[in-house]
Amino acid sequence: MSRLAVLKTYKLYIGGKFPRSESGRVYEVRSASGEFVANAAQASRKDARDAVVAARAAVSGWSKATGYNRGQVLYRIAELLEGRRAQFVDEIVTGEGVTAEVAAGQVDEAIDRWIWYAGWADKYVQVAGNANAVSGPFFNISVPEATGVVAVVAPQDSSLLGFVSAVAPALVAGNTVVVIAAEKLPLAAISLSEVLATSDVPGGVVNVLTGSPAEIVPWLASHADVNALDLVGAGSLDWVSLQIAAAETLKRVLPPENGPDAALPSLERITAFTETKTVWHTKSML
C-alpha cells in the first residue's frame, strides 16, 4: 500500500527555537536533478534582526564559559551528528547530486572538523596569547577574547561541510553567530540546527537563516550590534559594498574565500574573531 509523501517545510533557527519567517515567505528547495524536495523559510530583514538580538543575549554566558566547557559542548555536537550520519548523507546526495560514498566522506569530515575545533577550545589562548617583555617591575600579558556577535555567510556550494567550517571556529573563542545557510542547499544546515537544539549548545549561540544572502547580508553588514562579518561564502555578491557597510560600524571582516581550500580548519580562523586584551600588573616587591 502506497503512502502519501510527508512533505516538510524547513523553518529558521533563532534563539533555540524554530520559527517561520515573520514575512510568511517560503521558497522551493530542489534536488540536484531539479525535483521538488521541500519548502524552506525565506528569511527577511526582521528575521535577521531577531537573530542578532538572540545572539547578543547569548554572548555573555557563552563567552564566560570556560574553554574546557565550550570544548565539551562542541564535542557533543559531533557525537549527535555521528548518530544521525545516515540522514545527512541522504540530504547531501539529494542536494549536491554526489554519490553516497562522497557524501559519507563529507559528513565524516564535518564530524572530524567539529572534534578538531573542540580540541582547541581550551588551548588556543595559550598559543595566541603571550607574556610581553617590558622594562620595569610589571607583568604585561596579552589574552585573546571573543569579539561578540559574528554574522556568517556560509559557503554556497557545500550543504554541510562548508557550514561547519565557517561556524565552528567562531564558536570556539566564545562568539555567538548568525549564519546564512547555502541558499540552494539549506536542508543539512537546518537538520544540523535540530542537532544543536538537542545538544548542550545554549539557545541563541547559533542562529540559522535560510533564503537569499543577497537580501539578508546587507542588513547584517550594517547592523550596529554585529561585531564581525565572515564573508567566506559571499564571493558571488558585491562583497566590496558589504565591507564598506561593515566599516561604518567598525566591524572586523573576513573576505570571501573560493576553491577547495576555502575555510580549511586553522588556528587563524579561530583568532580572526578575537580581540586582544592586554593587562599590566605590578610585581610584588616582597
pLDDT attached to residue 257 = 80
Cell of 36: 521538488
Residue 5 lies in a domain: no
> Which sign, positive or negative, has the C-alpha torsion 84, 89, 90, 94?
positive
Question: What is the reported pTM?
Answer: 0.92
> Which sign, positive or negative, has the C-alpha torsion 62, 221, 154, 197?
positive
CA distance linking residue 238 with residue 240, whole number of Å = 6
pLDDT attached to residue 261 = 61
Q: Which domain holds residue 247?
A: 10-282
pLDDT attached to residue 142 = 79
pLDDT attached to residue 5 = 75
Cell of 241: 559594498
Cell of 34: 531539479
Residue 209 lies in a domain: yes
CA distance linking residue 62 with residue 52, whole number of Å = 15
Between CA 230 and CA 201, with CA 187 as vertex, the angle to 5 degrees is 60
Task: Tally the C-alpha atoms within 13 A of residue 219's C-alpha that lie toward its C-beta.
Answer: 19
Residue 17 lies in a domain: yes
Cell of 198: 538537542
Residue 101 lies in a domain: yes
CA 146 from chain centre, in angstroms, equals 14
Residue 143 lies in a domain: yes
Residue pair 217/29 in contact by the 8 Å Cβ criterion = no
Per-residue pLDDT of the chain (286 residues; tens, 9 = 90+): 778 877 788 999 999 999 999 999 999 999 999 999 999 999 999 999 999 999 999 999 999 999 999 999 999 999 999 999 999 999 999 999 999 999 999 999 999 999 999 999 999 988 888 777 777 777 777 788 999 999 999 999 999 999 999 999 999 999 999 999 999 999 999 999 999 999 999 999 999 999 999 999 999 999 999 999 999 999 889 989 999 999 999 999 999 986 556 678 899 999 999 998 878 777 765 5
Residue 1 lies in a domain: no
Residue 64 lies in a domain: yes
3-state secondary structure 35-104: CEEEEEECCCHHHHHHHHHHHHHHHHHHHHCCHHHHHHHHHHHHHHHHHCHHHHHHHHHHHHCCCHHHHH
Distances (CA, A) of 15 to 8, 47, 177, 259: 21, 11, 11, 32
The CATH number given to whatever domain includes residue 131 is 3.40.605.10
Distances (CA, A) of 119 to 45, 113, 115, 116, 167: 35, 10, 6, 5, 15
Q: At what angle do helices 67-83 and 187-197 cross, to 10 degrees?
A: 120
> Which sign, positive or negative, has the C-alpha torsion 175, 74, 161, 144?
positive
Q: How many independent structural domains does the chain possess? A: 1
Q: Can you give the C-alpha Rg of the chain in angstroms?
A: 20
111 contacts: CB under 8 Å, gap ≥ 6: 78, 81, 82, 85
Q: 10 Å Cβ neighbour count for 147?
A: 22
Residue 166 lies in a domain: yes
